[in-house]
């Protein structure tokens, strides 16, 4: 998913309902600023987050939003759902309707999985996080019904073939914390992947919690259901 970009003259033409010849004249008269800089080139590429001013009147001023949420079990990663509370519903008290409606979910968790969920209206950022080629890590804590052995570690490291999708999973890291508890690190997110991988050993997952994406860890001060805006440094760190 990529943010739609366009030429400056096309956007000004749409915003002001004038033809492109008129836009060229506006630029020649030094009347348009993009992100605080005087615009000179009609072919300048802009997007929905470009701040555009003409004659001291703001034509476009969309803001990027980056939100960390501690998702509880029983809440769905969806914008609407007829049966369950959604992650968007959890934002009602902190963010206005316009902001909530602009958001999409980065890396969904299923109904019975808790932990770190990211929401944004910046599709370039979310694409960077979810694109397989970037291999951004996702870290989970897993509780199992039965004890594990070292055979689990080797199987996760080798990858597992899923016949339904006709794919072999990317190598994953499995660190055994205790007989029935483990840390799993993935660089992809197949459908119910962790539960299916442990299912190869007929070992049911009792609890699953995502605590980190890339270099960004779930804020320990956030209780289940709480959220906060990411700091600028956190938005940048997610690229790791």
Structural domain boundaries of the chain?
Answer: 6-60, 66-237
Identify the pLDDT of residue 208: 98
User: Which stretches within the chain are classed as H helix?
Assistant: 8-16, 20-28, 97-102, 123-130, 150-158, 193-199, 232-237
Identify the pLDDT of residue 3: 57
Considering 133-137, 177-181, 187-191, the range whose residues carry the highest mean pLDDT is 177-181
For the domain bounded by 6-60, which CATH number is listed? 3.10.290.10
Q: What single DSSP character describes residue 18?
A: -
User: How many angstroms separate the Cα of 129 from the Cα of each of 111, 123, 124, 155, 173?
Assistant: 21, 10, 9, 26, 19
Spell out the residues 6+ positions from residue 169 whose beta carbon is closer than 8 angstroms to its own. Answer: 159, 160, 161, 162, 188, 190, 193, 197
Identify the pLDDT of residue 239: 53
The percent of residues in the chain predicted with pLDDT above 90, rounded, is 75
Instruction: Output the furthest CA–CA distance in the chain (Å, rounded).
Output: 74
Chain segment 180-193, per-residue pLDDT in tens: 999 999 998 888 99
Domain range 66-237, CATH class: alpha beta
- Average pLDDT of the residues in 127-138: 86
Spell out the residues 6+ positions from residue 68 whose beta carbon is closer than 8 angstroms to its own. Answer: 116, 117, 118, 216, 218, 219, 222, 227, 228, 229, 230, 234
Q: Does residue 122 have an active-site annotation?
A: no
Identify the pLDDT of residue 163: 86
Identify the pLDDT of residue 110: 94
Between 72 and 129, name the one with better pLDDT: 72
Identify the pLDDT of residue 61: 86
d(CA 113, CA 87): 13
Chain segment 55-112, per-residue pLDDT in tens: 999 998 888 999 999 999 999 999 888 899 999 999 998 898 989 999 999 989 999 9
110, 122, 163, 219: the catalytic one is 110
For residues 5 and 46, the answer to whether their CB atoms sit within 8 Å is yes
Whether residue 1 has pLDDT greater than 50: no
């Amino acid at each position: 998913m990529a943010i739609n970009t366009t030429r400056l003259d096309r956007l000004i033409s749409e915003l002001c309902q004038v033809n492109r010849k008129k836009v060229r004249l506006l630029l020649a008269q030094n009347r348009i600023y993009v992100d605080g800089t005087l615009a000179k080139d009609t072919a300048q590429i802009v997007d929905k987050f470009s701040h555009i001013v003409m004659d001291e009147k703001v034509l476009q001023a969309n803001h990027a939003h980056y939100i960390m949420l501690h998702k509880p079990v029983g809440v769905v990663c969806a914008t609407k759902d007829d049966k369950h509370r959604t992650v968007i519903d959890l934002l009602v008290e902190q963010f206005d309707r316009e902001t909530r409606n602009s958001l999409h979910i980065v890396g969904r968790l299923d109904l019975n999985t808790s932990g770190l969920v990211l929401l944004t209206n910046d599709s370039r950022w979310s694409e960077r996080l979810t694109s397989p080629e970037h291999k951004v890590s996702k870290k989970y804590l897993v509780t199992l019904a039965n004890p594990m052995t070292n055979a689990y570690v080797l199987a996760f490291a080798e990858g597992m073939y899923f016949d339904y999708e006709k794919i072999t999973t990317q190598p994953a890291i499995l660190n055994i914390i205790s007989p029935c508890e483990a840390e799993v690190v993935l660089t992809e997110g197949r459908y119910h992947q962790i539960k299916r991988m442990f299912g190869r050993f007929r070992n049911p997952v009792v609890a699953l919690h995502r605590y980190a994406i890339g270099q960004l860890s779930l804020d320990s001060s956030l209780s289940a259901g709480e959220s906060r805006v990411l700091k600028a440094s956190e938005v940048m760190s997610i690229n790791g």
